[in-house]
Chain A
Amino acid sequence: MQSASDPKLRARLARLELRARTVVEGLRGGRHRSPARGSSSTFAQHREYVPGDDIRHLDWRLMARGDRNIIREFEEETDLQLHLVMDTSASMKFGEEPSKLEYAGWLAASLARIACDQRDVFSLSLTQGEELLRSLPARGGEGHWQSLLHALASVEAQGEGDPGRGLAAAAMALDRRGIVVWLTDGLGDPEEAANAVGLLRHRGHDVIILRVLDSAEIDFPYQRNTRFLGLEGEEALRLDPNAVRQAYLEAFEHHAQEFRRRLRALGCAVRRMPSNEPLEVGLVEFLARRSAALQRRGS
């Protein structure tokens, strides 16, 4: 994590905020009124603690007066929680102007901005390799969004491992049902990804997978003899790109299809997000999902 006084970090933050606000404003101009009711969080009632409840919600004062563990139950501030899970493994470093990590950050900031504007709460989980690196709890408000921006700007892509396992680690920390948006390049094992998504679906989450890829990964445009250095410690490969292009593309697409097939089978949306495409595509997907989720809840 970088310090907040780091000029580089500040510049990255400013860019992230500007990009998110611009995207969201542009998106809003072409849409209907937000379906969110927008209500403040209100205390509703007490109930006895049961295992699995968040201990942060224990009412210490009542507990001091009696011998029961009483937990405070709040009414939902919004209808929906947005959980942003972002893969920050070393492979996300790939790509230029922007890198996959930057592009995923923009997406996350934009989605959080929409949620913030619609009074939804949003959380952020940053995974590196197979581990959960950092998480911001599900909250709303401008301050929380700024915290999210800071977290996004300060993270560096590093670590090795299957991103599906990282998602699984993050999933374990998500307590409330909501829309989980997984920002990843999805270059890991489709089965691991399916396992993690299956876990989320089992817990009632609606899952959107925004697969951030660089166009070089999709098109493999290299011509000259190239020595490819793996970002996650893989053995370097020297080869003639022309000679292996077709085989690479076949392997890449085969993996993508398998990834998509497995995850769609679990009822989640998978959207490929080339880093050279507009962010709105991913955001529209999110909004459509959100609308559907609210409709289900309303019914």
Chain B
Amino acid sequence: MNFGAPGVLWALPLVAVPILIHLLQRRRTQLVDFAAMRFLAEALRRTRRRVLLEDLLLLLLRTLAVLALILALAQPSTESLPLALGREARAEVLVVDTSLSMDHQQNGSSSFTRGQALAAERLGALKGQLDDRAALLRAGLSTERLANGDPREVRKALGEMTPPRGGTSDVGAAILAARQTALDMGLPLDRIRITLLTDLQASQWPEDSPARTALARLAELGCAVEVIDCGADVRDNLAITGLELNPPQVVRGDTVQATFRVRNFAITPAEVEVVVKLDNDVVQSLRLNLGPQEEQEQSILLNPVGLGPRVLEVHLPHDALIGDDQRASVLEVRDSLQVLLVGDLALDSSRPGLVESLAAYLSLGADAPIQTESLPLSRLDDSALELADILVLADPGSISIAQAERIVSFVQQGGGFLMVPGPNTGQGESAALLEASGWSALTVGEVARPGAEDAARLNIVDGDMPALRFFTDARWQPLLTEVPFLSYRPLLLDPALAQTQGLRVGLSYLTRSDADSGTALVAGQLGRGQAAWLSAAPLPGWNRMEEVPGGTLPLLYDLLFQLSPPAAHPPQTAFGAPLQLALPLPATDIDLRDPDGMRRSLAPEALGSAAEKVVLLPRANRAGVWKMDAQLLRPDGSEDQRRDYFAVVNPVAESDLRGLSHNLFAESLPPSISVLRPEDAPTERPTSPDGRRQLTATLLLLMMAFLIGETLFAATLDRRRMGA
């Protein structure tokens, strides 16, 4: 209820005055001795019920008159007497923020439940019989209109809303959807109230953000607009703000570095125990002391043995916001890289060519992470490529167009490709391959022979290239850059085209005069796979790499790993991003379970095709670890099983619960928008002064009617009683 002068309501006890007067009058009786008691007793018996009713009616009229006077003086809003006055229909549009931060708990209730309760109050004040209307919008990654129309249906939908499961919300889009909903209601806009129930997280409302712009547009509509801050008073939080794996996929026996970050969002220090699990087995537990607002980064090294997708999780003890107390990542552990070395052996066995030289370097033993198989160029076909992860083409003499297209197709589907031009590599063959790849920026130059006196050396152009990181260390760099090249075939690059085609230069040749003498290593993405051209491969007579094997082996080894096929999906999927992966074969059945273990329906296109990327779900709408079991159909008709995991992570911004200052926020908004706490938010709609005056006048008329009624009734009674 809404009053213009609520202080007058303190006079409400005065409604008891007529009752008190009545009781006092009853107490003030005279004593009389009387003889004709039998007639009095009979009269009393006959009139008792009627007199009681008459007295009660009089008392009621007097009490109502006093009540009407007090209410009139308190200037109530028309909302207080909706049915009696037959008010016009009105509407509530409720927008509930369901981002992760709304799940923050305080005193047993979350920001979401506080908003839900306020929304229920507002819906409860509506009356279906007055044609009131309501709408409920869920503000998440996308806006969902849960119900629209009958307030009872909307209230039911509100009760069925589930607490936030993670992710952020696009409040701006939700506000615009609320605006459109209000316009579609067909009511005068001044009878519609739009309420945004949110926690006013500062990170969600930066200056000039779409949400603020949308609010401003909403204000232009003429509706009543209220932003209710349902957030907690104390917004402390501890969260895992990051988890990265380097590298994101390894072969058995390799070491992976897991780096995670923990942040204390409180203004007081915190001590927290962090647990790291691999496939639910605790691999490390450590205690961190975090200062106010401090973020700490920790790294651990893992040597996973088991093959396949492995789930690495970092956990914190649950606090007021539990959605960010764990974070996961999926690590792909492969058995080994299958390298197919294709090239023709040298005709003169005393002078081995690039194929022999590379084979010598890449034959590392049965347990090595790289397993190499050699094949003549003439035998290169689809079946040869089927089992290969990386194709190394060493100094090809001639390449047919079909072979070139086969190689490019192999790379585009995720395979790795390393082209090593040498003395026998024809420019025409190279051009055909490069053309099929779309790398027109690159050509293979003629053989350069600077000789021993002016031998060229390698220069690291991009130390961030994975294959070259080892050599960014000053101790190991000379192992690569001090090797003399007496002869070489420089790669020639058009810088402008190279940039547009995404080509990345790793190494170049430098001569004694430090003049740039061509490119030695170029890499780039080709479809799902990666390709690289390396002209600086070990070749006796051309360079002296064999004399410094400590540099050559890491270069080749890391380069092959750089080119290795990507994982079927990223280690982490952002909340709300499509849940997708690459399946090598068509799937006949896929069982997808969310972190709660519930089976989820798939996107229709998920089955039946081995697409480049299979979309399982358009949006990952639960944070945590998802599990997939797929039945794949081999070309020969047999089936293959595949299990995979997906780690869906919440946006870090949702962990920072700090709220906006109401005053500053309100000042930045149009004045018609109210920013309130739930306890200050009125359930009833504010009433216009005219409406207030009308109701006050109505109450005064009522009071007069009660008084006149009381006077007439009392006079009638007096006349009847006294007249007798």
How far is B439's CA from A140's CA once the two chains are assembled, in angstroms?
Answer: 164
Contact of A255 among B29, B39, B718, B720 (CB under 8 A): B39
B47/A247 in contact, CB under 8 A? yes
B33/A231 in contact, CB under 8 A? yes
Contact of A237 among B25, B28, B35, B44 (CB under 8 A): B44
Known A-B contacts A94-B33, A227-B29; the reply to A242 vs B721 at CB < 8 A is: yes
How far is B146's CA from A142's CA once the two chains are assembled, in angstroms?
Answer: 115
For residues 14 through 51 of chain B, which have their beta carbon under 8 Å from a beta carbon of chain A? Answer: 25-26, 28-44, 46-47, 51
A251/B39 in contact, CB under 8 A? yes
A226/B51 in contact, CB under 8 A? no
Contact of B30 among A217, A227, A230, A243 (CB under 8 A): A227
Contact of B43 among A230, A234, A247 (CB under 8 A): A247
Binary contact track A223-263/B, C-beta < 8 Å → 1, others 0: 01111111110110111101111111111100100000000
How far is B54's CA from A243's CA once the two chains are assembled, in angstroms?
Answer: 10
B41/A234 in contact, CB under 8 A? yes
How far is B33's CA from A62's CA once the two chains are assembled, in angstroms?
Answer: 58
> How near does chain B come to A188, taking the closest CB pair, in angstroms?
9
A249/B34 in contact, CB under 8 A? no
Contact of B722 among A238, A242, A244 (CB under 8 A): A242
> How near does chain B come to A274, taking the closest CB pair, in angstroms?
13
Which residues of A lie under 8 Å from residue B474 when comparing CB positions? none
A93 interfacial by beta-carbon distance below 8 Å: yes
Nearest chain B residue, comparing its CB with the CB of A90: B35
B36/A187 in contact, CB under 8 A? yes
Contact of B51 among A93, A225, A240 (CB under 8 A): A240
Which residues of B lie under 8 Å from residue A226 when comparing CB positions? 29-32
Known A-B contacts A93-B33, A224-B28, A224-B29; the reply to A239 vs B39 at CB < 8 A is: no
Known A-B contacts A187-B36, A230-B37, A249-B724; the reply to A244 vs B44 at CB < 8 A is: yes
Known A-B contacts A245-B724, A246-B724; the reply to A217 vs B36 at CB < 8 A is: yes
A206 interfacial by beta-carbon distance below 8 Å: no
Contact of B35 among A217, A238, A246 (CB under 8 A): A217
Which residues of B lie under 8 Å from residue A252 when comparing CB positions? 36, 39
A239/B44 in contact, CB under 8 A? yes
Nearest chain B residue, comparing its CB with the CB of A189: B38
For residues 179 through 233 of chain A, which have their beta carbon under 8 Å from a beta carbon of chain B? Answer: 185, 187, 214, 216-217, 222, 224-232
Which residues of A lie under 8 Å from residue B44 when comparing CB positions? 237, 239, 244, 247
Query: Which residue, A185, A214, A239, has most C-beta atoms of chain B within 10 A?
Result: A239
A-B contact count (CB 8 A): 110
How far is B188's CA from A172's CA once the two chains are assembled, in angstroms?
Answer: 98
A81 interfacial by beta-carbon distance below 8 Å: no
A91 interfacial by beta-carbon distance below 8 Å: yes
Which residues of A lie under 8 Å from residue B721 when comparing CB positions? 242-243, 245-246
Which residues of A lie under 8 Å from residue B42 when comparing CB positions? 247-248, 251
Nearest chain A residue, comparing its CB with the CB of B52: A243
How far is B47's CA from A17's CA once the two chains are assembled, in angstroms?
Answer: 46
A246/B720 in contact, CB under 8 A? yes
Nearest chain B residue, comparing its CB with the CB of A188: B38
Which residues of A lie under 8 Å from residue B41 when comparing CB positions? 234-235, 237
Which residues of B lie under 8 Å from residue A94 when comparing CB positions? 33-35
How far is B720's CA from A242's CA once the two chains are assembled, in angstroms?
Answer: 9
A243/B51 in contact, CB under 8 A? yes
How far is B40's CA from A230's CA once the two chains are assembled, in angstroms?
Answer: 10
B51/A245 in contact, CB under 8 A? no
Interface size class of A (residues with CB under 8 A): 35 or more
A187/B30 in contact, CB under 8 A? no
Known A-B contacts A246-B724, A248-B39, A252-B39; the reply to A228 vs B26 at CB < 8 A is: no
Query: Which residue, A214, A222, A248, has most C-beta atoms of chain B within 10 A?
Result: A248
> How near does chain A come to B49, taking the closest CB pair, in angstroms?
11
A222/B32 in contact, CB under 8 A? yes
SS class, residues of chain B in contact with chain A: helix
> How near does chain A come to B210, taking the closest CB pair, in angstroms?
75
B43/A231 in contact, CB under 8 A? no
A227/B31 in contact, CB under 8 A? yes
Which residues of B lie under 8 Å from residue A222 when comparing CB positions? 30, 32
B28/A248 in contact, CB under 8 A? no
Which residues of A lie under 8 Å from residue B722 when comparing CB positions? 242, 245
> How near does chain B come to A214, taking the closest CB pair, in angstroms?
7
How far is B34's CA from A214's CA once the two chains are assembled, in angstroms?
Answer: 10
B37/A237 in contact, CB under 8 A? yes
Which residues of A lie under 8 Å from residue B33 when comparing CB positions? 93-94, 228-229, 231
Binary contact track B50-79/A, C-beta < 8 Å → 1, others 0: 010011000000000000000000000000
Known A-B contacts A239-B44, A248-B43; the reply to A224 vs B30 at CB < 8 A is: yes
Which residues of A lie under 8 Å from residue B25 when comparing CB positions? 225
Which residues of B lie under 8 Å from residue A238 when comparing CB positions? 26, 29
Which residues of B lie under 8 Å from residue A225 when comparing CB positions? 25-26, 28-30
> How near does chain B come to A53, taking the closest CB pair, in angstroms?
41
B30/A248 in contact, CB under 8 A? no
> How near does chain A come to B123, taking the closest CB pair, in angstroms?
50
> How near does chain B come to A290, taking the closest CB pair, in angstroms?
30
> How near does chain A come to B133, taking the closest CB pair, in angstroms?
54
Known A-B contacts A225-B25, A242-B721; the reply to A187 vs B32 at CB < 8 A is: no
Nearest chain A residue, comparing its CB with the CB of B36: A217
For residues 309 through 325 of chain B, which have their beta carbon under 8 Å from a beta carbon of chain A? Answer: none
Nearest chain B residue, comparing its CB with the CB of A157: B35
How far is B43's CA from A250's CA once the two chains are assembled, in angstroms?
Answer: 8
How far is B39's CA from A23's CA once the two chains are assembled, in angstroms?
Answer: 33
Nearest chain A residue, comparing its CB with the CB of B720: A246
> How near does chain A come to B185, taking the closest CB pair, in angstroms?
58
> How near does chain A come to B472, taking the closest CB pair, in angstroms?
109
How far is B724's CA from A252's CA once the two chains are assembled, in angstroms?
Answer: 12
Nearest chain B residue, comparing its CB with the CB of A256: B39
Which residues of B lie under 8 Å from residue A185 when comparing CB positions? 35
How far is B52's CA from A239's CA once the two chains are assembled, in angstroms?
Answer: 11
Which residues of B lie under 8 Å from residue A242 when comparing CB positions? 717-718, 721-722
Known A-B contacts A243-B721, A246-B724; the reply to A228 vs B39 at CB < 8 A is: no
Which residues of B lie under 8 Å from residue A93 when comparing CB positions? 33, 35
B47/A237 in contact, CB under 8 A? no
How far is B25's CA from A243's CA once the two chains are assembled, in angstroms?
Answer: 14
> How near does chain B come to A230, taking the closest CB pair, in angstroms?
4
How far is B36's CA from A214's CA once the two chains are assembled, in angstroms?
Answer: 10
For residues 339 through 354 of chain B, which have their beta carbon under 8 Å from a beta carbon of chain A? Answer: none
> How near does chain A come to B405, taking the closest CB pair, in angstroms?
115
How far is B586's CA from A40's CA once the two chains are assembled, in angstroms?
Answer: 156
For residues 77 through 128 of chain A, which have their beta carbon under 8 Å from a beta carbon of chain B? Answer: 91-94, 100
Which residues of B lie under 8 Å from residue A187 when comparing CB positions? 35-36, 38
How far is B323's CA from A134's CA once the two chains are assembled, in angstroms?
Answer: 108
B38/A234 in contact, CB under 8 A? yes
> How near does chain B come to A96, taking the closest CB pair, in angstroms?
10
Binary contact track B700-724/A, C-beta < 8 Å → 1, others 0: 0000000000000000011011111
Known A-B contacts A214-B35, A246-B720; the reply to A228 vs B47 at CB < 8 A is: no
B37/A234 in contact, CB under 8 A? yes
For residues 152 through 197 of chain A, which have their beta carbon under 8 Å from a beta carbon of chain B? Answer: 185, 187
Contact of A231 among B34, B51, B717, B720 (CB under 8 A): B34
Which residues of B lie under 8 Å from residue A216 when comparing CB positions? 34
Which residues of A lie under 8 Å from residue B54 when comparing CB positions? 243
Interface residues of B (CB under 8 A from A): 25-26, 28-44, 46-47, 51, 54-55, 717-718, 720-724
User: 18 extra interchain contacts, Cβ-Cβ under 8 A, other than A226-B29, A235-B37?
Assistant: A224-B29, A225-B26, A225-B29, A230-B34, A230-B35, A231-B34, A231-B35, A232-B35, A234-B37, A239-B40, A239-B44, A240-B51, A242-B717, A242-B718, A245-B43, A246-B721, A247-B47, A248-B36
Of the A-B pairs whose beta carbons lie under 8 Å apart in the complex, a sample of 16, sorted by A's number, is: A92-B35, A94-B33, A187-B35, A217-B35, A222-B30, A226-B29, A226-B30, A230-B34, A231-B33, A231-B37, A234-B37, A234-B38, A237-B41, A245-B721, A247-B44, A247-B47
The 8 closest A-B pairs by CB, nearest first: A246-B724, A247-B43, A94-B35, A91-B35, A248-B43, A234-B37, A230-B37, A251-B39
